[in-house]
Structure 1
Amino acid sequence: MQQTNEKSIIQKLDLDGYIHQFKQFLAREKPVVMMGDINQHYRYIQALSKVQFPTPNPVPNLDRELNLIKKQGVLSLDEIYAFVTMFSYFNTLKAVGFTEPLISWVQGIEIPEEIVEIIGYFTEEGSINPERDPELFKLERAIKQNKIDIKETLYKLAHSSRLRDHLVDTQVHFNGGEETLLVRGGFNNVIKATVAARSPGGFFYIIPQSISHLKEKESALLSTKEEIIYKYCKDISAVFFKWERFLAFINKEYDRFDHYQARVSFARAKEYEFILPSKQKRIKLQDFAHPAIENPVPITMDMNKQIMLVTGVNAGGKTMLLKSMLSAVYMSKYLLPFKCDASKTEVGHYKSIEAVIDDPQSVKNDISTFAGRMQEFAKLFSKEDAIVGVDEIELGTDSDEAASLFRVMLDELRKKGITFIVTTHHKRLASLMASDDEVELIAALYDEERRMPTYTFLQGSIGKSYAFETAQRYGIPVAIVKKAKVVYGEDKDNLNELIEKSTSLEREMRMKIAKIDDELKSVEKLKEKLQDEEFKLQESHRKAIATLENRYNAATKKAREALKAKESTEGRRLLNVAHQRKDFKQKEVKLADEIPLKAGDKVKYRSHKGELLSLRGKDATIIVDGLKMRVPLSQLKRRGDTPNIKVKPKPKQAKVNVEKSTASVSVKLLGMYADEAIDTVDKFLSDALVNGLSEVQIIHGTGGGVLSKLVGEYLKSHPKISKFYRMPGNLGITVVEL
């Protein structure tokens, strides 16, 4: 029943040609609907869109074969090869460079060894490989040689002098699978043969008796071959029975991948886009093109209200707009690609799609147009969370009465969560619903100068029907149209003029807004360009500082190595002064009006955006895409989306006092990283040596013992340390004697 409804909605929306084209990309016939989580399907399709993959070979539906395996039946060679085709394809996919989630899925399909061995039995053409079986190989050679013998015998007969006068030609003809010669009547006087058939010209296809023994030999060889093939089929079917559940699984997964690859291949061939349905009950189309229209005018429409009422010119595209909106919902609902600007298109998810489009009048069913429409609307009262398209809603009855009736029905049905797209030629319903905040008015536009519909639409306005202009355009005499206008009445004509003026003003306003939007986009692009240039300058500045810092570190490293070789108290003191001046210079580089970063700030690290979690000295801990990272504080930049609070610049203080540092008898390394801990210990020992201390303590904690090990290795290589040992009691303290 559901499949029948799907077929009906496809035909009503003119999508049958589109669906037929899509199905050409499937490896086997199946419904277009995919069961399961649509969000998961979308992730797999997006991942598959990023790689090139082999096209799957056609495979028939194997439900009957799976049932036969359950009953321990014997499959034919072709049926077995259909399963082998699926096994081989999944083996091929494992060599494709997939990304997640595809790689986990494909690699997770492990084909049992017994099944892998069966794959090796077959050639690419689907027959048993004779090279794997000596007896079969011998039979194949015998059959081939016998065919050569038959052909040579017939060739000799066709060129023999005794049969020459009776031959129609000298070719070997295949008739009913048999090699024959084509001869005239009276052939039996010169050759013994069996008549296989008669030609339309009254000639005879004959099988000469001289090749009868060869044909009998061929039949015997083929029978023997069939016995061997049947044995293979029987043995393989027994293995399949053992792995029946795996076969059912691989058959299902093949269908699933077939759904994905067909959609991706179809989208690539047509340059279509995928739109994942959103939770919002909204249809926002940008440059949408219905697949049934050649050279269409792209549709841009934003429907975020529960009822969209389309009015305006006859033959102006109202019905196609309705079908386009519903088609976009249908195609996105089943992840079928279509032409649009995907970055600006949004389509909501609806439980069901209904189209009240065709005229339901039927003499056979004894039902009028209006009665048929009432039947369609009566069914809607049992629906929820649906989107319904109604074409020419007042069709078949008095427009004023119908307008009042449909106004009430639409109000009641939308309370059940039903969204409506309605087209109408009558303005009574539009005027009744115009004041409703949940009704979107759409006008189909008309080109007055060319006297032609534009197939474009204007939101927020009621459209004029242009019935008289349309009649004149299609050949109705001008005099008749003029008389009709008189009968129509001046008041109503004035009303149409007001509607037309309102539409023109609305169009003018929209054009101005569009122009302003374009200018705003240009300004935004210029702003982004300037921000990029600023970032490049800052990055260049950062690299320059990093280069200088690397040179400084290299120089100080060489100085340390020199001091280790020849210890100098004055050298250690000067090295500490250099460290202090380096720190001061780095602080001096910071802008005076820059606000210090704090935990919770939005920051940018190189090209990554993240959030600052905590600060520790010159390092900061940030989180980027759920991953915590420890990075230099100097490489962080405040994000542009964080409001900058300008503060008054403080007067620069260039006064610097460099004094002899006061040494401490202990240092804490708790929570430090390895490099930071060693640098701290190095500076601490230098200060202790300069100040003449004889014994100091390094507090590294117990923990996993990593810091303790690093400190021990460093102390062993230090030239000025006479002795060091762990303090008793496992307190996590190392005592150093200088």
Structure 2
Amino acid sequence: MSRLSHSLSELFGKLDLLPHVGALEHFFSREQNIAMQGDQERHYRYIEALDALEFKAPPKSVPFEAILNHLKKQGVLRFEEIFEVLKVVRYFRFLRNQGYGGLIGEWMGTIVIPEGFEEIDEYFDVEGKFIESRDEELYRISQRIKAIKTEINDAIKRLLHTQKLSSYLVDTQIHYVGDEECLLVRGGFNHVLKGSVVGRTGAGYFYVAPDAVLKSKEQLRYVLQERDAALYEYAKRFSAKLSGFVPFIGFIDREFDRYDHYQARVLFARAHDYAIVKPSGDDAIVLEEFAHPALHNPKPVSLAFKGNLLLITGVNAGGKTMLLKSILSACAMAKYLIPMRLNAHKSRIGSFKRIEAVIDDPQNVGNDISTFAGRMVQFAHLFEHKSALIGVDEIELGTDSDEAAALFAIVLDELIKRGQKIVVTTHHKRLAALMADRDDVELLAALYDEERRVPTYEFLHGVIGKSYAFETAARYGINPAILTRARALYGENHEKLSVLIERGSELERDLKRKNKEADERLEAIRAEQNALKEARENLRSDLERERNRLRAEYDAAIREAKAAAKEHDQAAIHRQLNRAQAKLPKVEVPKIAEPEKIVYEVGQTVKYRSQRGTVVSVGAKDAMIEVEGMRLRVKLADLKPSGNLPKKPKVTVTSQVEQKSGLKLDLHGLRGEEACEKMDKFLSDALLQGFDEVLIYHGIGTGKLAYAVKEFLKAHPSVKSFADAPAHMGGFGAKVVRL
């Protein structure tokens, strides 16, 4: 039921994801593009919130595009089209009545169904059938229709039991051909039955509509026309009513599209025990127990790819291509929030603007191009993009491996410089050997069970794998004599060279790993030295504090000795002097000059935190300052002198509500989430500055912003109360908040 763009369909086809996406499509209520527009982070929050709730799936629906166009042209909708709108309205009304909390509850609170829908809704049952019994005239007409149809059936049944006609009847049933009641008779019936032939069977029998019921059928047609006219009047009345709700119908159509995306993913994940992974902010790819949906009983993939290039080498038919597809598939499904099978708690998938898969062989008769030339066209296309994830299968396909290794080493280096992250598979070793010494290159080798001569579909990190071409050929039935001759032709020296390449690359990477470990240990030693220096400085500070303490005790003893001297007590004088001398530190402590005391005067311009104001009055420890028409009492220690600035014109606001601050916040033009963030910071600042009453402007508008402000203030722990502002301060478009 979804509509995939051509590029997305092509990518999913290359990655074998189309059946998986098709399974997800069955959970959608209406046909739409599977890729959600807008902020994926926001979509994930709503999906996560919906997954925490129990809900029933929405009814199958159609987009309202044609319905809206018809209403805008003042057209008359069919009852089926009217019921499509009612289905969606009924479902959202059901969700609102569930009383959900959190993000979904807030969302449902924004969907306010206009008055007038109930008038239309009451005329349709749960299956969308018009309830004719609600109209007295229509009910009377329906009763007449039933009576006429009964009369027609009774007349035909009487004919069925006529003695003259019995020999011509094929059966004794009433048949319907194009809503016409007919009898099935043999040839020659015209001698005993008058009527019109409306059909014929393959066996040569005739469907005949008897003339005996023509009068009743004529009456029925007249009554049905009368019924259709009455129903049309209702359709016209309902359509005129809905024309006034065109903006709301467009709004609820978009909201249902969005909700359909969320519920389909949640129900699909629940049905198959899948996980939905949100792309992370970086480009690291960490997969834990990922299973590609195209495989039956797959071996789960676990890997960490944090560099710029991942080279997958090793045995043929060992799972290299499927590993590449698994990496790209996991990233594609995370990009579009498609459920998948993996351990979400231990996995992290980066965010990529584009995902490119160079997998298929580009050669075909239609494009008249060679394999290698086609690959060059594909690579030229890759240089058009930045910040993409690229997967290339069998990169040296179609040309000499030695030349290709040199060429693609430079091509890959240039792509990496453009910010691309690349996964490459190859069964040749030249390219891997050329790229293995880079810090941003990671190696994976497909493992092979030499004893059983089968691939294990497992991968070893940090080494270049062997292709095992001869072993693979033997496994698939190539004659051993042919393989013996092939090994001899290949030569022992080539075999040794391959082994040296593999081992040399492994040793080089091992050496780099050890150097890195040594650097880390050296850094740890330096950190330990810095910690020792810091500890030594702390000890010096402690020693200085202890000296100051002893100096204070010495001064106290001297003061006691002076007091004893005034009393002419010689023994007490000597005793206090000796005590002071014993506590005197050996090292003199330099005296610290006391900071100069700042004296503030009335009218002086001062700075208080990030604001500038004027001193109104000065006390012993605090002062009254005026900031933009507001008076605050603050501590002298929190003030700083400021240059004399030109005074701003004073604004006086008169209010019936006692105001201690006059601090204001304007939320006009903001969305609900943005307004809540601004109010949270605004109230925190107000509390820190000592305000106990503030004013918040939100306007009237549609009422959504006012509702969001009211709900936020109800839940805020520091808000004592709030009420609509007086008329001269904003009225219903503002709130006076007491803290």
TM over 0.5: yes
1:179 corresponds to which of 158, 178, 181: 181
Q: Would you say the 8 A contact 2:462–2:506 is kept in 1?
A: no
Q: Kindly provide the amino acid, as one letter, of the partner of residue 457 in structure 2.
A: Y
**Secondary structure of 1:484's aligned partner:** helix
Could you say which residue in structure 1 is the equivalent of 2:11?
9
Is the 8 Å Cα contact of residues 277 and 332 (structure 1) preserved in structure 2? yes
Q: What residue is the counterpart of 1:44 in the other structure?
A: 46
Task: Mark the CA change 1:411 to 1:215 in structure 2 (over 3 Å): closer, same or farther.
Answer: same
Give the distance between the partners of 1:94 and 1:180, measured in 2 at CA. 52
Equivalent of 1:347, from 328, 349, 357? 349
Q: Is the CA contact (8 Å cut-off) linking 1:173 and 1:181 kept in structure 2?
A: yes
Residue 259 of structure 2 is matched in structure 1 by 257
Counterpart in 1 of 2:159? 157
Task: Give the whole-Å Cα distance in 1 for the aligned partners of 2:103 and 2:140.
Answer: 48
Matched residues, number: 508
DSSP-derived class of the 2:448 partner: strand
The answer to whether the 8 A contact 2:311-2:441 is kept is yes
**Residues 49 and 502 of structure 1, relative CA distance in 2, 3 Å threshold:** farther
**Rounded Cα–Cα distance in structure 2 between residues aligned with 1:309 and 1:157:** 86
Cα deviation, residue 96, structure 1: 2.6
* Residue 465 of structure 2 corresponds to residue 463 of structure 1: yes
Is the alpha carbon distance of 1:452 and 1:186 closer, same or farther for their aligned partners in structure 2, counting shifts above 3 Å? same
State the shift of 1:468 in Å.
Answer: 0.9
Q: CA deviation at 1:154?
A: 2.6
Q: 2:146 aligns with which of 144, 147, 163?
A: 144
The 1:98/1:432 distance shift into structure 2, 3 A limit, reads: same
Corresponding residue number in structure 2 for 1:581: none
Q: State the shift of 1:243 in Å.
A: 1.2
Task: For 2:116, give the aligned amino acid.
Answer: E
| Equivalent in the alignment of 1:384 | 386
State the shift of 1:491 in Å. Answer: 2.2
Question: Which residue does the alignment assign to 2:666?
Answer: none
Match of 1:25 among 4, 24, 27: 27
1:413 to 411, 415, 423: 415
- Going from structure 1 to structure 2, the CA distance change for 1:483 and 1:125 (only over 3 Å counts) comes to same
Partner of 2:305: 303
Q: Matches of 1:450 and 1:213 in 2, distance apart?
A: 88
Letter in 2 for 1:271: D
Q: CA deviation at 1:451?
A: 1.4
CA contact (8 A) 2:446 2:459 kept: yes
Q: Aligned to 1:342, what secondary structure does the other structure show?
A: coil
Cα deviation 1:102-148 (Å, max 9, x = unaligned): 00111221111112321112112212211221111222222233333
> 2:269, 2:340 within 8 Å by CA — same for their partners in 1?
yes
Structure 2 unaligned blocks of 5 or more = 509-690, 693-739
Please tell me the residue identity of whatever aligns with 1:194. Answer: S
Match of 1:167 in 2: 169
Distance 2:502 2:181 in 1: 81
Q: Quick one: which amino acid aligns to residue 22 of structure 2?
A: H
Counterpart AA for 1:14 = D
Task: Determine which of 315, 318, 322 is the counterpart of 2:317.
Answer: 315
Of the structure 1 ranges 157-166 and 472-481, higher mean CA displacement relative to structure 2 is found in 157-166
Q: Does 1:99 align with 2:85?
A: no
Deviations 1:660-697 (A, max 9, x none): xxxxxxxxxxxxxxxxxxxxxxxxxxxxxxxxxxxxxx
What is the match of residue 202 of structure 1?
204
Matched residue, 1:679:
none
Distance 2:396 2:197 in 1: 74
Structure 1 residues 447, 146: closer, same or farther in 2, change over 3 A?
farther
Corresponding residue to 2:269 among 267, 273, 292 = 267
User: What's the CA shift for 1:416?
Assistant: 1.1
Q: 1:214 aligns with which of 196, 207, 216?
A: 216
> Residue 65 of structure 1: CA displacement?
1.6
Unpaired stretches in structure 1, ≥5 consecutive residues: 507-702, 705-738
Deviation at 1:216?
1.9
Where 2:5 maps in the other structure, the secondary structure is: helix
Q: Which secondary structure state, in structure 1, belongs to the residue aligned with residue 116 of structure 2?
A: helix
Q: Does the CA-based 8 Å contact 1:447-1:453 persist in structure 2?
A: yes
The separation in 2 between residues aligned to 1:450 and 1:99, in whole angstroms, is: 59
TM-score, normalization by structure 2: 0.67
Alignment match of 1:84 (pick from 69, 72, 86): 86
Superposed CA offset, 1:608-631 (max 9, x none): xxxxxxxxxxxxxxxxxxxxxxxx
Q: Distance in 1 between matches of 2:501 and 2:142?
A: 85
- Residue 99 of structure 1: how far off its partner (Å): 3.1
Question: SS where residue 101 of structure 1 aligns?
Answer: helix
Q: Matches of 1:307 and 1:52 in 2, distance apart?
A: 43
Letter in 1 for 2:285: I
Whether the 8 Å CA contact 2:311–2:425 is kept in 1: the answer is yes
Q: CA deviation at 1:498?
A: 5.9
Taking only the aligned residue pairs, the percentage that are identical comes to 49
Give the whole-Å Cα distance in 1 for the aligned partners of 2:89 and 2:456.
Answer: 54
Change (3 A) 1:122 1:505: farther
Residue pair 1:461, 1:502 contacting (<8 A) in 2 also: no
Structure 2 counterpart of 1:530: none
Q: Alpha-carbon deviation of 1:84?
A: 0.8
The 1:492/1:177 distance shift into structure 2, 3 A limit, reads: farther
Which amino acid is the alignment partner of residue 406 of structure 1?
F
Q: Is the 8 A contact 2:358 2:390 kept in 1?
A: yes
In the other structure, the counterpart of 1:651 is: none
Give CA deviations for 1:244-299 in whole Å, capped at 9, x if unaligned: 11110011111111111110111111110010000110111111111111111111
Residue pair 1:87, 1:119 contacting (<8 A) in 2 also: no
Counterpart in the other structure of 2:367: 365
Q: How does 1:423-438 map to 2 (within 5 A)?
A: 423-438=425-440
d(CA) in 2 for partners of 1:176 and 1:481?
75
Distance 2:253 2:178 in 1: 37
1:51–1:97: 8 Å Cα contact kept in structure 2? no
